[in-house]
Chains A and B, each alone.
Chain A
Amino acid sequence: MVYVVDMKEGYNIIKRITLIKKERKGILYIILFTIILAIIRPFIGPYWSFIVAYGLIISIVGLGFNLLLGYNGLLSFGHAGMFGIGMYTLGLCTKYFNISSLEILILLSIIIGLIIIIGLGYVASKLIIVYFALFMLSFGQIIFALTYKLYGITGGSDGLSIPILTILNINFNSRIDFLYCYYYFVLLIFTICTIFMWILVNSPFGKTLQAIKVDDIRATYIGVPVRKYRYIAFIISTLYAVISGALYGPLNGFIYPELISHVFSGEIVYLTLLGGMNYFAGPIVGSFIYTILKVYIPTITEYWQFIMGATLIIMILLFPGGIVGWIYSKFKKR
């Protein structure tokens, strides 16, 4: 049998694909990334499944964080506190209400998180630059201190263990079985969060946020209520941190206050700058590289914090656009 291949038709199809608008292409890339991660799961053991899931979770908080920093010019040193709200809401609900359904727990964390965020954002959206950074740092430290000092409720520095939860009413016999399924759950949430964020930053709202970052006075004089926009951005950004925190507990099986101290807030800043704050993929790339560095460098040297700090300084001095920025510039030159 002879197949007649219409070259012209084939060429048109290729042409059409390459002509897909930048925004739609972005969604395609995200879905492609998800499919790759979904396919590789059975080929990687529990160790790497854990690391990838961790990277995905940290990517969510990074994406949220960068909505404020990269797209609106606000530096938050308190996202660890928001992460903590999600993490401890989930943890405390398993402990005191014996809820074991993952979906309900995540939903509860989002609701409790939203109540706090809406109140907090009202005040935070009045502040800019250093005042905003310090306000967020203080808030993060309050959450840290509460989890640390309220020993009777949170277990203080002894931490809280998270039992194996059920996903869609499915029970799991072991942590590893749970992990394998949880990996996909995290991947799903990551994909939804990433696609939503991609649409958001490319929407009129997202563009307007970027305009506010460049010049808030001009933004006011094209009729943008700047504070209201900052408020909405704050809510979405911190909600991502809450979701990310809620996802972390079931993965690790154990939570404790040190996870959400100012050090973690600093690490979120670190990974965003490492990946490139001016690029959408920056915090995602940054999260994965940060996760791998954090796992491997301590096995090489006990001065791992020195290495992490040094890499950031080198990055900022040599590649101010971060890793993604550096890759972009390579492509542009060609």
Chain B
Amino acid sequence: MDILEVKELKKSFGELIAVNKVSFNIEEGEVVAIIGPNGAGKTTLINLISRWIKEDEGIIKFLGKDIKYAGPIQALEMGIARSFQIPRVFGKMSVLDNIRLAITSKEKKSKKILSFFESDKNIKERAIEILEKFNLLEKMNLFADELPHGDRKLLDVAIAFSLNPKLLLLDEPTSGVSAAEKTRVMNRIIDTIRKENITTILVEHDMDVVFEYSSRILVMNEGKIIADDTPERILNNDLVKQIMGGK
């Protein structure tokens, strides 16, 4: 079953057409990578699906429903969560609190004024479970901005994961992470996602990461999708080789 259908999606910023008549479908449980050179429109596409910006033309259907009028919060309620290229975590709060905040919000308990945040044991237990999955348990009492970059990236994904998404959008989960750390970060993320069978769209620069972890690859260039295939076939696609600089 298709969880996401994108049809003829278009978005321009002034003269620049960032996303140009893009169409694709994503099936439940797939881990799809979007690759392409800088300025290809990958992040714009993620911003459109997560409803940070609105399209000029085209349709995005999530679970069969048109999400034209949804904002980020409605999209999240439907099950679309995301992480960010530059990790967005709550810096001056503990790693544990970062996850607890997300779960509290997901459970619609953020509005509570007359109870203590820390007294909800149920939420704490679940937060700890999630931190364990992402290997962050030992660091749960550190401030999020004290974490090394790789762990901050993991925390960003863990926050999105704790919102119980049906579709997870990961915007360059390994950007800025050292080569040695990349495998550790990606293994953690992909292991967890696969175990829970969460459909994922992964925007990546690093070809090694893409070919190792995704089941299908969309190649974007100048706002258009120029190839949509399995990693093996993408590797042998001449046009892709040319665009990606022979990587």
Contacts and interface: CB of A to CB of B under 8 A. Distances in A.
Interface of A: 21-23, 199-200, 202-208, 210-211, 214-215, 217-218, 220-225, 229
Contacts of A223: 73, 76-77, 105-106, 110, 163
A211 B117 contact: no
Nearest to A236: B113
Interface of B: 50, 72-73, 76-77, 81-82, 84, 88-93, 97, 100-102, 104-106, 109-120, 159-160, 163
A22 B115 CA distance: 14
A217 B101 contact: no
Among A211, A214, A221, A225, max chain B CB count under 10 A is at: A221
A21 B119 CA distance: 9
Contact of B90 (A204, A205, A211, A225): A211
Given A215-B89, A221-B76, A225-B73, 16 more contacts: A21-B118, A199-B113, A202-B118, A204-B115, A205-B113, A207-B97, A207-B101, A208-B105, A210-B90, A211-B90, A214-B91, A215-B90, A215-B91, A220-B73, A223-B106, A224-B110
30 contacts: A23-B116, A23-B119, A199-B116, A204-B104, A204-B111, A205-B111, A206-B113, A207-B93, A207-B100, A207-B101, A207-B117, A208-B101, A210-B92, A211-B90, A214-B91, A215-B88, A215-B91, A218-B159, A220-B73, A221-B50, A221-B88, A221-B160, A222-B105, A222-B159, A222-B163, A223-B73, A223-B77, A223-B105, A223-B106, A225-B73
A154 to B, nearest CB: 35
Contacts of B117: 202-204, 206-207
Contacts of A221: 50, 72, 76, 81-82, 88, 160
B82 to A, nearest CB: 6
A218 B112 contact: no
A47 to B, nearest CB: 38
A202 B117 CA distance: 6
Contact of A214 (B90, B102, B109): B90
B101 A203 contact: no
Closest 7 CB pairs of A and B: A218-B88, A222-B102, A207-B117, A208-B110, A223-B105, A214-B90, A222-B105
Contacts of B93: 207, 210-211, 214
Nearest to A200: B113
Among B97, B102, B106, max chain A CB count under 10 A is at: B102
Contacts of A211: 90, 93, 101
A206 B93 CA distance: 13
Contacts of A220: 72-73
B73 to A, nearest CB: 5
Contacts of B113: 199-200, 203, 205-206
Nearest to B156: A218
Nearest to A201: B117
A215 B159 CA distance: 13
Among A21, A22, A211, max chain B CB count under 10 A is at: A211
A289 to B, nearest CB: 25
Contacts of A218: 84, 88-90, 159
A217 B88 contact: yes
Contacts of A202: 116-118
B120 to A, nearest CB: 8
A328 B100 CA distance: 26
Contact of A199 (B77, B101, B102, B114): B114
B69 to A, nearest CB: 16
Among B88, B91, B106, max chain A CB count under 10 A is at: B88
B141 to A, nearest CB: 13
A217 B83 CA distance: 11
Contacts of A210: 90, 92-93
Contacts of B102: 222
A221 to B, nearest CB: 6
Contact of B118 (A23, A215, A217, A222): A23
Contacts of B81: 221
A21 B76 CA distance: 33
Nearest to B144: A214
A224 B120 CA distance: 19
Contacts of A214: 90-93
Contacts of B163: 222-223
A62 to B, nearest CB: 20
Contacts of B115: 203-204
A23 to B, nearest CB: 5
Given A23-B118, A215-B90, A223-B73, A203 B112 contact: yes
Nearest to A224: B105
Contacts of B88: 215, 217-218, 221
A22 to B, nearest CB: 8
Contacts of A199: 113-114, 116
Nearest to B100: A207
